[in-house]
Amino acid sequence: MNDAISAFSTNILPLLNNSKLKFQLSNPNVLFIKMILRQLKREQIVSLQLNALQVWPERDLIIFRNVISMTLLNLPYDNLINRYDEYFPNLTCLSLCYDNEVNLNSFSPIFKQLWQRIKRLEIHCAGTLCTHYDTNQLNKFYTLVNYVEYFLFDVGHFPLISMNNCFRYYRSCFLITTIDFIKKLINIQYIHLIINKYDIEQLLDIDQWKTLVNECLQLKKITLQVLGNTFQNEQLMQKVLNIQTEMNNIRQTIKFQIKFL
């Protein structure tokens, strides 16, 4: 919606007053919202992007009761996210976006507050911080989530942690950390990882994927999406086939695929 108004001005709003058309609002202020709702129906606003640090009065949040997808920018790990449950009763997709790298082991406070309507969880960030300096750190992240079915993790626009930057020099530091995180989504069915072309080798550790499949019994599909043109060499594709074969040996229904964009 913001882009449409920027391109065509507010004169386009009467043309969009159709209950079949659905829109996202990005970081709207109160005046912008009032202007939109003079021309559009509330039920047309189904997606919302908010700065997590901005304080919204209750009377303004109630407007968005039809929202099914919400993006929160730079949500603090200790933020009282459960307050959104009351204002967004139809919310099923939650996307968390961060400008910097994130510590996946610090998401436990957020997980504790998620509500069971959330079926799709997304994290978009500049990468992950290595937590392998503390062998007990993983045990501190104990919250299990049994309702998220789809997890998207987008770190495609930044380089991942290299082996030299990992406290224990794990070659697949990012993958190990990510899979440990995903294991907490005990009923996960679909996993979608977005990375850049320089880091694809880090994600082809067959042993790590096997541990995930053995623990997440509902898992159906894993997609690795690679950004940037890259030469699809035979050795890389053979690794992908080997992972698929190993997964099928564990459970026939699982699909492992890689996409180059």
pLDDT single digits (tens) 105-154: 888 888 888 888 999 999 999 888 888 776 555 455 557 889 999 999 99
**Predicted confidence (pLDDT) per residue in 187-226, tens digit:** 999 999 999 888 888 899 999 999 999 999 999 999 999 9
Instruction: For residue 142, give the nearest of 170, 183, 179, 171 by alpha carbon.
Output: 183
State residue 128's pLDDT score.
87
Q: Can you say how many angstroms the Cα of residue 35 is from the centroid of all Cα atoms in its chain?
A: 31
State residue 153's pLDDT score.
97
When mean pLDDT is compared across 32-36, 167-171, 230-234, the lowest value belongs to: 230-234
The type of residue at 117 is R
State residue 11's pLDDT score.
61
pLDDT tier for residue 230 given thresholds of 50, 70 and 90: low
pTM of the model: 0.88
Instruction: For residue 207, give the nearest of 255, 167, 172 by alpha carbon.
Output: 172
Give yes or no for a contact between 50 and 27, defined as CB atoms under 8 angstroms apart.
yes
* Alpha helices per DSSP H over 20-125: 30-37, 58-61, 83-87, 108-113
Which residues neighbour 55 within 8 Å (Cβ) at sequence distance 6 or greater? none
> What's the CA gap between 67 and 93, in Å, rounded?
9
